[in-house]
Each structure stands twice: as structure tokens, then as C-alpha cells.
């Protein structure tokens, strides 16, 4: 493992920011730490970077224990949330900084700065000051500065937060391309689940100072281990029912079949909004109910419906739309709603 | 004919006028109590229709010597203040809530005390048999009392004490404005603390250094009470010379000429400090 975090605990007075975190990142892997603000993800990043000393636990980089090593001894490149470019230095001076600190010869510095700027497509911008660049360009300078010295690990602390949506999307793909090209082991921090799904090899979902689940994006989305993960990643309908004899009684849908081996008792089921079909499309579905449409939201390529089920409870449905499709339902209308049981996921720790 | 564009411009102009009106009382006050007297002074110095007073003020060796000495003392006060104030400001900018409260208290309490009172206090502390000399003797560090009063050392000690806050606060303010992530970034990129300071923190604090230096220098150059009392007549600053011309010789025109020379020297040095620090920043 390139990065191993073992049993990290960090307390601030009475608050436990990190309550025993274990995490492994393989060489060349892009791992995202996803969590709401206050989940401890930034503290974890700072611990890995060396700006925080944990109360308990160890940080290993390439097998070497760096728990107490100062940041400068870790060979970790970091892109800060606000980029933290040195405002009084030119772009080239910013990128040269880590090389100069490593006392590389002058011609090597020059060559590698040019290479790094070419990598982020900012050739010819070397003489500008950071404030003369746009937000996206500043971001790319920060990235060049973080990778120019060939770090063992790249840390990205919500680097796209301040950018508008279009730019963010193109930069996400660019960072991803660069990361693959350089085979950089990367730890990425974000609260944006969509961003996490787009960019990551694996995602670690954090809440209240603990890692809830680690897995590939598709796996986490389809098989969340906890209620928090199911709720935080994507949109979700969490249905509470009781299981008996391989079936669960769910208000509004009656008895639905469960995967084999499900013990009797209380159970939480995850049903993604896109698994639901309404009206005529619902007729072909094995599990059916009926509900009143409370709200419809048009989203371009799909429509979102909030429905009150006849048996009690609310569900969210997301219906794909083609440009020629009429609106799927009107607010106030009562329609059939259904899904296939294989789209149900039992949340183990509901 | 007025187009909609015209009326928009008119509205914008009206807003600017309204904002300008807010500054009028302050401008009037400055005009009456500062600009007008300065102009009067200037007029007074050339009352006799010649530049004789200026010739005397700028060519006479005695007065040149005093002016040079004043500049030298002001520069020394500025340098000592900078050396003492920067570490204090740096510590304050990194200190916790209690550290800042304590530091502010220690800086502001003397700041709010009358300069006269503080200068007399130094007379008690620095005399031949003053507290400082007695302590040093009792500690066995010296045999004979150090000459701390009625000389340049006394003047420097007193002036640095009075002017120190003027150096600390601008530097402290500029250090606070620096994003703390910048020194973190520098350290993360491989810089030891001292290199991170030299390459990042210090250059970015130069506007505060420049402001502090300019303030302390300008105030030092015109300082009167402290050098008059602690210098014991052996250290003469331009301000004392001016006072002497007015009070003892009733030579108002010459005092006016000296004042003008002091004002011009002050402005020139002020501009110079600004230029040096700006240059250093972009080096």
C-alpha cells in the first residue's frame, strides 16, 4: 500500500474529529473521501499531509512511518481549497518552489517547470502573477506545483469548490487524465457525491469522524452498507419494513420478495428513484402500488416526481425523458407506481 | 433631448457627488487646521522677499548638522523599532486568544499614557542612580553606572518605547492578512519554517513594514518632548531648533524656513521608503 492510515484518532477538546480511521490507498489509485462538512475529512487530509498530529494511530507512506514527520519530509503534493498560490511570485516561480526547496540544479528546475506547465496546458503563462489568471487557470497552476517534484502522494482538498459548473466538469476530467497519465496515488476530498462518482477508483464515505464504507463507486451506489451511505450517495428512497419468510411488508407496496437468506425482523430497503416506473410502465413491474403526485420537477433528460403512496409514506421517482415525451404526470394526479424486486437493496446496517 | 443612457449617467454622477459630500467636513477641517497654516508658514519664510532664510537653513553648517543628526536618530529609532516590533507582531499574529489579549494590553496601555509621563518615568529609570543602573550594579554586571541619560542612548530608548506600537500594529495587520494556507503550502512543498518565512511570509508582510517604517520615521523626525528631556540638551533635533528660534529669538521667518525644510525632508524620505519596499516586494 502506498498510503496506509491505521487507527487514527484526533480529538479537539471534547470533540472527536476522527474516531479511529483505517484506510489504505494502493499505488496509482484515486481514492476519494466523501463526507458532509464536519465529518472529519479535512482533519484526515491534514493528518496525512502532516499539518495535524493524531492523538492515536499511525500514517504510513510507502511503508515508512511518517506519523510524526513534518510536512516537508513527506514528499506529498497538495492542492488547497483556495489553491494557496504565492501571490507575490510568478506562475513559473510558484511551480519552481518545491524544486528549489529540494535544491535541484537550475537547468533541471527550468526544464521541469516548463514540462509541468505544458502538462496543465499553461505554456507561456510562466511570467504572469496568479491574480492575472482565471480561477480555473490558478487551479491548474496549483496542480502543476503539486506534481512537479514527483510526489509520492497527491492530496486534493475540494479543489473545484469555487469554480462554476462547466469549468468544474472539464477540470475534473483533466485532473483524472493527469492522474492516470502520471500514475499518481491520489487522495481527494469532497462533499460533492457526483464529483466523487465521476473521479474515483474507490470512494470512502465518512460521517462523524468514521469511515462508513469503502468501495468502488458503482458498488457503493448499488450496495450501500449503511443508511448514511445510501442516503448520502445519490438520491434514495429508504423504506422501513418488517421481514418474514423471505418477504418484507412495505407500506404502500404490500409484500415484496427479499434476497434469499434474509433473517426475519426489521429491515431497511433502498430503492433508487430511477428504479420506479409509473402509470402504464408500472403495469409490467412485479411490485406495484398507487400514489398521488405531490410535485414534479423537470430536469431536462429526466423528470423527478414526489409521490404520496396510498398505503402511507412518500417516494421519489426519477423517470427518463426523451425530448418528444410529454410530462409524465400532473401534480395532484393519482397514478400506479411499481418496481422490480431485484432493484431493491437491503441496507445491512439500516 | 436626453436618452435613457444620459439619465443613467446623471444618476451615477449624482451618487458620486453625494458620496463626495460626506468627505467635505473632514476636508474642511484639514484645510483649516493643516493646509492653511502650512501655507502661511511657507509665506512667512519668504516674507522679506528673498530666500535668505532658506539659504541659512540649508547651507549653514550648524543647521545642516542638526538636520543630519535628526535624520540619523530617526533612522536609528526606525531600525530598532523594526527589529523589536517584527518578532512581537509575528508572535501576536500566531498567538491564541489570550496571547493576543495580553499582547494588546501590553502595547496599548503605554500607548494611551501621556508621552510626557512616560518620558519622566524614563528619567527615573535611566539616571546615574536610577533603577536600571542600580540593578546592574547589584547584579555585579557593571562597576560604574552606565551613561543612559542625557545622550543619544537615552533619546533612543525613550523614542523607541513611545513609537514601538506604530511599528507593531501595521506589521501585525499585514501578517494577519496573509492566508495561513500559504505557509502551510510552502512547508508541504518542502520548505523548512525559516525558508517559508523568508520566501513567503516576510515578502507578503512588506506593506506593513513599509507603513510602520514610514510612520515611525516621520514621527521621529519631528519628535520634541522625549529628545528634549532625555537628551539633556546634548541631543538636538530639528523640532527643538525650531522651538528655540520661535521662543528665544522670536525669529519666526527662520523657524518657518526650518519647518519647511523638515516637511520637505519628511516627504522625500516617506517617498523613498515606499519605493524601497515596493522594489523589494517585486524582487
Q: pLDDT band at A161, cuts 50/70/90?
A: confident
Which range of residues forms the domain containing residue A325?
A: 235-346
Q: Are residues A283 and A340 in the same domain?
A: yes
Q: Backbone phi, then psi, for A308, in 5-degree steps?
A: -100, 120
- What's the grid cell of residue B31? 484645510
The grid cell for A116 is 509541468
Per-residue pLDDT, B62:
87
Domains of chain A: total: 2
What is the Cα–Cα distance from B44 to B147, expressed in whole angstroms? 41
CA angle, A259 as apex, A253 and A263 as ends, to 5°? 95
For the beta sheet containing A302-309, the strands, ordered from the edge strand earlier in sequence to the opposite edge, are A277-278, A334-339, A287-298, A302-309, A314-320
Across the interface, do B182 and A86 touch by the CB < 8 Å criterion? Answer: yes
- Where is the domain boundary, A230, A247, A274? A230
pLDDT at B281: 57
Q: For the domain that residue A254 is a member of, what is the CATH number?
A: 2.40.50.140
| Residue among A95, A124, A96, A121 nearest A173 (CA) | A121
Give dist(CA A181, CA B269) in Å, integer.
56
Per-residue pLDDT of chain B (283 residues; tens, 9 = 90+): 556 667 888 888 888 888 889 989 999 998 899 889 889 888 888 888 888 888 888 888 888 888 889 999 999 999 999 999 999 999 999 998 999 999 999 988 888 888 889 888 999 899 888 888 899 989 888 888 888 888 889 999 999 999 999 999 999 999 999 999 999 999 999 999 999 999 999 999 999 999 999 999 999 998 888 888 888 888 888 889 899 898 999 888 999 999 998 889 888 888 888 888 776 655 4
Confidence of residue A247 (pLDDT cuts 50, 70, 90): confident
Helix (H, G, I), strand (E, B) or coil at A241: strand
Q: Are residues A67 and A131 in the same domain?
A: yes
- What distance in Å separates residue B197's CA from the closest CA in chain A? 12
Q: Looking at CA atoms only, how far is residue A85 from chain B in angstroms?
A: 7
Residue A220 sits in the same domain as residue A137: yes
Which residue among A205, A230, A255 closes a domain?
A230
Distance between B194 CA and the closest CA of chain A, angstroms = 12
Answer yes or no: do A196 and A60 share one domain: yes
Q: What is the pLDDT of residues A281-307, one digit of tens each?
A: 878 888 888 889 999 999 989 999 999
**Chain A residues within an 8 Å CB radius of B192:** 72
Using a CB-CB cut-off of 8 Å, the residues of chain B touching A102 are 190
Q: Measured between beta carbons, which residues in chain A are less than 8 angstroms from residue B200?
A: 86
Residue A198 sits in a domain whose CATH number is 3.40.50.300
Do A285 and A305 fall within a single domain?
A: yes
Q: Which residue of A has its CA nearest to B194?
A: A101
Q: Quick one: A155 and A285 in the same domain?
A: no
Average pLDDT over all residues of chain A: 91
Residues A170 and A76 in one domain: yes
Does B191 sit within 8 Å of A101, measured CB to CB? yes
Cell 537547468 belongs to A107
pLDDT of A191 = 92
Comparing A187 with B50, the larger pLDDT belongs to: A187
B182 and A76 in contact by Cβ < 8 A? no
Record the cell numbers describing residue A79, joined without a space.
Answer: 492542492
Touching check for B190 and chain A: CB below 8 Å?
yes
Contact A101 B195 (CB under 8 A): yes
Give the pLDDT of residue A94. Answer: 96
Nearest CA in chain A to B193: A72
% of chain A surpassing 90 pLDDT: 61
Structure-derived torsion over alpha carbons of residues A297, A298, A299, A304, reported in degrees to the nearest 10: 40
C-alpha dihedral, B60 to B66 to B71 to B73, nearest 10°: 160
The crossing angle, in degrees rounded to 10, of helices B52-59 and B61-94 is 70
Q: Specify whether A186 is located in the same domain as A319.
A: no
Query: Which of helix, strand or coil describes residue A192?
Result: coil
Asked whether residue A88 falls in the same domain as residue A188, the answer is: yes
Contact B189 A98 (CB under 8 A): yes
Does residue A240 sit in the same domain as residue A226?
Answer: no
Asked if B199 and A87 come within 8 Å (Cβ–Cβ), the reply is no
Does residue A76 share a domain with residue A36? Answer: yes
Give the other-Cβ count within 10 Å of A215's Cβ: 18
Q: Of A15-29, A254-268, A303-317, where does mean pLDDT reach its minimum?
A: A254-268
Backbone phi, then psi, for A167, in 5-degree steps? -65, -40
Q: CA-to-CA distance for B74 and A276, rounded, in angstroms? A: 81
pLDDT-above-70 percentage for chain A: 100
Residue B33 DSSP class: I
| Among A230, A262, A294, residue at a domain's last position | A230
Nearest chain B Cα distance for residue A14, angstroms? 19
The DSSP bridge partners found for residue A157 are A189
The pLDDT assigned to A216 comes to: 95
Q: Are residues A66 and A190 in the same domain?
A: yes
Confidence category of residue A133, pLDDT binned at 50, 70, 90: very high
A33-82 pLDDT, tens per residue? 999 988 999 999 999 999 999 999 999 999 999 999 999 999 999 999 99
**CB of B70 within 8 A of CB of B238?**
yes
Interacting residues of A108 by C-beta distance below 8 A, sequence separation 6+: A99
A145 to B281: CB separation less than 8 angstroms, yes or no: no
Residue corresponding to grid cell 409524465: A328
pLDDT tens for B235-252 read 888 889 899 898 999 888
Residues in chain B within 8 Å Cβ distance of A66: none
Amino acid at each position: 500500500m502506498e498510503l496506509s492510515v491505521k487507527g487514527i484518532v484526533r480529538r479537539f477538546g471534547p470533540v472527536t474529529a476522527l474516531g479511529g480511521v483505517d484506510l489504505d490507498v494502493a499505488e496509482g489509485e484515486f481514492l476519494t473521501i466523501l463526507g458532509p462538512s464536519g465529518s472529519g475529512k479535512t482533519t484526515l487530509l491534514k493528518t496525512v499531509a502532516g499539518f495535524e498530529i493524531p492523538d492515536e494511530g499511525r500514517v504510513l507512506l510507502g511503508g515508512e512511518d511518517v506519523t510524526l514527520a513534518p510536512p516537508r519530509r513527506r514528499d506529498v503534493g497538495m492542492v488547497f481549497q483556495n489553491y494557496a498560490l504565492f501571490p507575490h511570485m510568478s506562475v513559473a516561480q510558484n511551480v519552481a518552489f518545491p524544486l528549489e526547496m529540494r535544491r535541484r540544479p537550475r537547468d533541471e528546475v527550468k526544464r521541469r517547470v516548463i514540462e509541468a506547465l505544458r502538462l496543465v496546458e499553461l505554456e507561456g503563462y510562466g511570467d504572469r502573477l496568479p491574480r492575472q489568471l482565471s480561477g480555473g487557470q490558478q487551479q491548474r497552476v496549483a496542480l502543476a506545483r503539486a506534481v512537479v517534484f514527483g510526489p509520492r502522494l497527491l492530496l486534493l482538498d475540494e479543489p473545484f469548490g469555487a469554480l462554476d459548473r462547466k469549468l468544474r466538469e472539464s477540470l475534473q476530467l483533466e485532473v483524472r487524465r493527469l492522474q492516470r497519465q502520471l500514475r499518481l496515488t491520489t487522495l481527494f476530498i469532497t462533499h460533492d457525491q457526483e464529483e466523487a462518482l465521476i473521479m474515483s477508483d474507490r470512494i470512502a464515505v465518512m460521517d462523524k469522524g468514521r469511515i462508513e464504507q469503502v468501495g468502488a463507486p458503482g458498488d457503493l451506489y448499488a450496495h450501500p452498507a449503511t443508511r448514511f451511505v445510501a442516503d448520502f450517495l445519490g438520491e434514495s428512497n429508504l423504506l422501513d419494513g418488517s421481514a418474514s419468510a423471505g418477504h418484507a411488508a412495505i407500506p404502500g407496496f404490500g409484500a415484496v420478495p427479499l434476497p434469499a437468506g434474509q433473517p426475519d425482523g426489521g429491515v431497511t430497503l433502498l430503492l433508487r428513484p430511477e428504479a420506479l416506473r409509473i402509470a402504464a410502465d408500472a403495469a409490467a413491474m412485479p411490485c406495484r402500488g398507487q400514489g398521488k403526485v405531490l410535485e414534479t420537477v423537470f430536469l431536462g433528460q429526466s423528470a423527478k416526481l414526489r409521490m404520496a403512496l396510498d398505503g402511507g409514506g412518500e417516494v421519489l421517482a426519477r423517470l427518463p425523458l426523451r425530448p418528444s415525451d410529454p410530462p409524465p404526470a400532473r401534480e395532484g394526479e393519482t397514478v400506479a407506481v411499481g418496481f422490480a424486486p431485484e432493484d431493491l437493496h437491503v441496507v445491512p446496517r439500516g | 433631448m436626453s436618452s435613457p443612457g444620459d439619465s443613467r449617467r446623471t444618476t451615477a454622477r449624482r451618487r458620486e457627488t453625494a458620496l463626495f459630500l460626506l468627505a467635505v467636513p473632514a476636508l474642511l477641517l484639514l484645510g483649516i487646521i493643516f493646509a492653511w497654516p502650512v501655507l502661511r508658514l511657507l509665506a512667512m519664510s519668504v516674507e522679506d522677499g528673498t530666500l535668505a532664510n532658506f539659504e541659512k537653513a540649508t547651507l549653514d553648517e550648524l543647521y545642516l548638522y542638526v538636520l543630519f543628526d535628526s535624520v540619523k536618530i530617526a533612522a536609528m529609532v526606525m531600525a530598532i523599532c523594526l527589529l523589536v516590533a517584527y518578532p512581537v507582531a509575528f508572535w501576536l499574529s500566531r498567538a491564541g486568544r489570550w496571547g493576543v489579549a495580553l499582547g494588546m494590553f501590553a502595547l496599548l496601555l503605554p500607548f494611551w499614557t501621556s508621552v510626557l509621563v512616560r518620558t519622566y518615568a524614563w528619567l527615573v529609570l535611566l539616571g546615574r542612580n536610577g533603577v536600571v543602573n542600580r540593578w546592574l550594579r547589584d547584579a555585579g554586571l557593571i562597576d560604574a553606572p552606565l551613561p543612559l541619560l542625557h545622550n543619544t542612548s537615552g533619546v533612543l530608548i525613550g523614542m523607541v518605547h513611545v513609537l514601538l506600537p506604530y511599528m507593531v500594529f501595521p506589521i501585525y495587520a499585514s501578517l494577519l492578512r496573509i492566508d495561513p494556507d500559504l505557509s502551510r503550502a510552502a512547508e508541504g512543498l518542502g520548505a523548512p519554517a525559516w525558508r517559508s518565512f523568508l520566501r513567503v511570509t516576510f515578502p507578503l508582510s512588506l506593506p506593513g513594514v513599509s507603513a510602520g517604517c514610514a510612520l515611525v520615521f516621520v514621527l521621529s523626525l519631528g519628535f520634541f518632548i522625549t529628545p528634549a528631556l532625555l537628551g539633556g540638551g546634548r541631543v538636538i533635533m530639528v523640532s527643538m531648533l525650531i522651538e528655540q528660534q520661535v521662543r528665544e529669538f522670536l525669529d519666526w521667518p527662520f523657524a518657518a524656513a526650518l519647518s519647511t525644510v523638515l516637511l520637505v525632508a519628511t516627504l522625500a524620505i516617506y517617498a523613498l521608503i515606499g519605493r524601497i519596499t515596493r522594489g523589494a516586494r517585486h524582487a
